[in-house]
Amino acid sequence: MTDAIDRRTLLKTAAATAAGAGLAGSIGEALAQQAGLTLSQATPFSFQILKDLARSRAAGPYEPPRRPSPEIVGKIDYEAWGKIQFNTDYALYANGPGRFPVTFFHLGMFFQKSIQMNVVEGDQARTIVYDTRYFNMPPDSPARQLQDGVGFAGFRFQEPRDGKLDWRRNDWAAFLGASYFRAIGDLFQYGLSARGIALDTAVADRAEEFPDFTRIFIGPEEGDTVTVHALMEGPSIVGAYKFLMTRNEAVVMDIETALYLRRDISRFGIAPLTSMYWFSETRKPMAVDWRPEVHDSDGLALWTGEGERVWRPLNNPARTTASSFADENPRGFGLMQRDRDFDNYGDGVHYERRPSLWVEPIGSWGRGAVQLIEIPTDDEIHDNIVALWVPEGPAKAGSEYNLRYKLHWKADEPGPMTLGRCLATRLGNGGQPGQPRPRGVRKFLIEFKGGPLESIPFGVRPEPVLSASRGSFSYIFSEPVPNGVPGHWRAQFDLTVDGTDPVEMRCYLRAGDQVLTETWLYQYHPI
């Protein structure tokens, strides 16, 4: 399993870091002594108390998170930060009663805002007081100059004490940077991230806002499930979150949130997912990198309120683009990593193991749209893909939102999938072999596999059903992929189009009246 934070992740999240100050609660003295942690006095705690606090703070002015000792923390650069390791002897629940010990991230140049960490037992919570003795660090580390009580940058859950893996070296969920958090899937690898909220992402006349989880409340733990509460604060919003996180074959998070708006929001992004897509088999600039593909996710999957299954391959566009998929009460959406073949990456960071992340709405979400933001990138260190749900209607100051949803960190989307799935989108020059290649013509090959494709009668050739926002199609046909794998087909066609404006395309396979595959959507950028 990869450690929760590596250099690539640090650079990707440096623009939005985490913070906090203030509320306390209580656990028993026996647990405090067992963990070796210094704890504050106890105060009452519940999710309702947290929601009441969020509502009251939203009615007042925004107070930026605390940045303790900036002259010291600013000296803890990437190298110095990497040498500061939490001493797992001080891990919360290191000796029980919970199965999953909790360790903490240190403050540093890229994570300067202080989060207040609290531990909860019953209806009481107490603040965990920072002490340098919790961390192993070199004698000359700048961190040794910090005073007790400055707080932490984030936290993570380690693997179970009674599990097969060494819990001191392996973790399965981490919260670090603004309202970012992430978990491993069933392939034991970190990849894309989730966020508490996304505010004005890629809005032309506004800067994106990154609210912070400022106060965290950990516990209790029961069996495979851990409970975390969080207070989120930003200039435009205050939110209270409750996470019920279950670790078994993969990770499932049941999230309940109450959100209170201080200001109007132009693009109000619920359940945002953030990932990286540089290039894949779809389109790769010549010799830009030695690897065949580099991405944490390769497509957006949708399960609409009416039951349609949709696959939209990701793009690395020349300019920032926003695509909107209108829906009502969606059944789910997610950023998926479908390509699991190591040979298609060839990299020891194991992109083929990166988790997919699926959002399952609970209850009625009403009308709105899944929106996909794609931002240009020329390297793998940038998270340039955002998927989120945007409710219909304006998000106005004074509004309140109460939502529930589940996040499934798995290798694949959960639930039944009875149709053939899109596995690859390949582009090339249009026209016929041996003939001059005409300008303005692009060839597409879309691979589908599984579902009814595995049982179509011999001699039946699926029909590609195509549409496009502009342009014309030619040389349309389907054929089995010549690899001997049952149910593996591809649709092939040429698109002729003038100009450089994007083209929105749709395709699926059918036999008579029977739909055989999910719907492939693609935004083609002519060059």
Q: How does pLDDT run across 362-373, given as a tens digit for each residue?
A: 999 999 999 999
CB 402 within 8 A of CB 258: yes
Please determine, for residue 381, whether its predicted confidence score (pLDDT) is greater than 60: yes
Distance CA 142, CA 120 (A): 31
Q: Name all domains of the chain by residue range, CATH numbers in brackets.
A: 7-410 (2.70.98.10), 421-524 (2.60.40.10)
What residues contact residue 163 under an 8 Å CB cut-off, 6+ apart?
none
Distance CA 457, CA 477 (A): 17
DSSP letters for 450-479: SGGGGGPPTT--PEEEEEESSSEEEEEEEE
For 299-305, what is the mean pLDDT?
A: 98
For 140-161, what is the mean pLDDT?
A: 96
Residue with tokens 């990869």: 2
Please determine, for residue 24, whether its predicted confidence score (pLDDT) is greater than 50: no
Quick one: how far is CA 170 from the chain centroid?
Answer: 20
Residue with tokens 């001059």: 436
Q: What is the pLDDT of residue 15?
A: 39
> What digits encode the pLDDT tens for the residues 494-515?
999 999 999 999 999 999 999 9
Q: What is the pLDDT of residue 182?
A: 98
Please determine, for residue 115, whether its predicted confidence score (pLDDT) is greater than 90: yes
465: β partners: 508
**Of 454, 432, 451, residue with least CA distance to 441:** 432
Distance CA 358, CA 360 (A): 6
CB 410 within 8 A of CB 358: yes
Q: What is the pLDDT of residue 90?
A: 96
For 263-274, what is the mean pLDDT?
A: 98
Banded pLDDT at 30 (limits 50, 70, 90): low
Q: How many CA atoms lie within 13 A of 350 on its CB side?
A: 13
Residue with tokens 């389109």: 283
Q: Taking the CA atoms of the chain, what radius of gyration do you get in angstroms?
A: 25
**Of 21, 19, 40, residue with least CA distance to 29:** 40
- pTM greater than the 0.85 cutoff: yes
Strand 309-313 to strand 519-524: parallel, antiparallel, or no bridges (unpaired)? parallel
Phi, psi of 316 (to 5 degrees): -110, 90
CB 517 within 8 A of CB 453: yes
Quick one: how far is CA 31 from the chain centroid?
Answer: 33
Distance CA 373, CA 319 (A): 11
Q: What is the pLDDT of residue 433?
A: 80
Two structure tokens written together for 192:
């894309």
Q: What is the pLDDT of residue 463?
A: 97
Distance CA 31, CA 42 (A): 13
